Amino acid sequence: MNRTLRFAKRFALPALAAGVLLVLAQVVFAQPPVVPAFTVTPPAAGNNCGGTWTFTSNATDPDEDITSTDWNFGDGTTGNGTPVQHTYALPGTYTVQESVTDAAGGDDLTVDTVNAPNQNVVVGNSGQPTADVNATPNPAQPNATITLSAAGSADPGAGGGITQYEWDLNNDGTFETNSGATATTTTSFAGAGIHTVRVRVTDNCGATAQDRTDVFVNNTPPTASFTSTPTPGKVGVAMTFNASASTDAGGSIASYHWVWGDGTADTVTAAATTTHIFATSGQHFVQLTVTDNDAATNSTSRQVRVNARPTANFVAAANPSLIGEQVTFTPTGSTDGDGTIASYQWDFDGDGIVDATSLPAAPAVTHTYGTPGDVNVKLIVTDNDGDTGEITRVQT
């Protein structure tokens, strides 16, 4: 029989007869324990992942006759006593129950058991994670997509698991890329060489581990390319050579080495453009070699034509000639060694003004002088590449 307060109950025994002594008896009943709650102490240093939990009963009993304190730790195991310690095998949320029992008292032969309000405890993982990262492909080409995988990472603690993957892709010590619970990410490297990447994994208890791998990026040789202007070039006139179309996928071009093919000294520049003057006409075999910032090279060559200037020559049908006489001028002997002559321009009196133009189909021209004296007659021939040659003769 349960009671909440101590009390005394008197039973009067009936008198058997007058003058007979009246006997009184007092029976005392025990009171049940008072159990307001119990105290839960997590593992030391605030780490509730796999440490030992301590449960302490706050129960009291007015009769001071508690005989047992029983626990149900919510994971299928039980315990007895206070304080009591328990270690959970798996992380999770567990409902802990406490029961306190006292002894019977006086003529009350019953045993009282009182349950404290349940409490929940959250238990994390007790293991320490390990990180493992690899790169595919490795080695890789510049700017190629590289897949980084930390799927080999593990958390050996019971019920443990990796919850976060963070990546340091530029080896600066900062894990700037967070892929969450996904164990992979991608990156690429433009420059050749060895590139270090790191992963940091965090488990469901907040414990971390790191791993690194080196990604080898092969150097792709540069590609050499150039143009020249004007085309064709002219003897004694500077030509511009432009190699800005040269490329290097894995870095940058550090130098440009030009071989001119005309017996003059080579030219090496850091700039993509340069100039060169050819002293002779003809086809010149020009070679360009580019070197990138990782010392890889590539070469290309092409023939650059330097136009041969045409040669001017003419004859006059009459020299000396008479006043009023029509004189025929013919560009006999004018030639172009590597092409054809496109036109003939004539200055009959040496004043610098072209007086007549003839074409190869009808190259001869005529002129009549009205005054006596010597004059300078100039012929300018232009070839099919726009280059010119000239000659001046005295006409009497």
Residue for token pair 């021209």:
365
Question: For residues 226 and 239, is the Cβ–Cβ distance under 8 A?
Answer: no
| CA 99 to each of CA 30, 109, 240: distance values in angstroms, whole numbers, following the listed order | 18, 19, 99
How confident is the model at residue 102, as a pLDDT? Answer: 87
Tokens representing 149? 């995988």
Give residue 363's pLDDT: 97
Residue burial 245-269, b: 16+ Cβ < 10 Å; e: rest: ebebbbbebeebbbbbebeeeeeee
The pLDDT assigned to 105 comes to: 60
Encoding tokens for residue 90? 């798996």
Fold of 134-217: Immunoglobulin-like (2.60.40)
| Superfamily, domain 1-124 | Immunoglobulins (2.60.40.10)
Q: Please give the radius of gyration of the chain, using alpha carbons only, rounded to the nearest integer.
A: 55
Q: What is the pTM of this model?
A: 0.54
The residues of the chain scoring below 70 in pLDDT are 1-30, 44-48, 50, 105-109, 126, 158
Name the CATH architecture for the domain at 315-395: Sandwich (2.60)
What residue spans define the domains of the chain?
1-124, 134-217, 227-307, 315-395
pLDDT at 89: 75
pLDDT tens for each residue of 257-316: 999 999 999 999 999 999 999 999 999 999 999 999 888 999 999 999 999 999 999 999
Chain-centroid distance, C-alpha 48: 38
Neighbours of 161 (CB within 10 A): 15
pLDDT for position 15: 38
The yes or no reply on domain 227-307 and CATH 3.40.50.1220 is: no
Pairwise CA distance, residues 354 & 114, whole Å: 130
Asked, colleague to colleague, whether 134-217 and 227-307 share their fold, the answer is: yes
Q: Which residues contact 192 (CB under 8 A, 6 or more apart)?
A: 142, 217, 218, 219, 220, 250, 251, 294
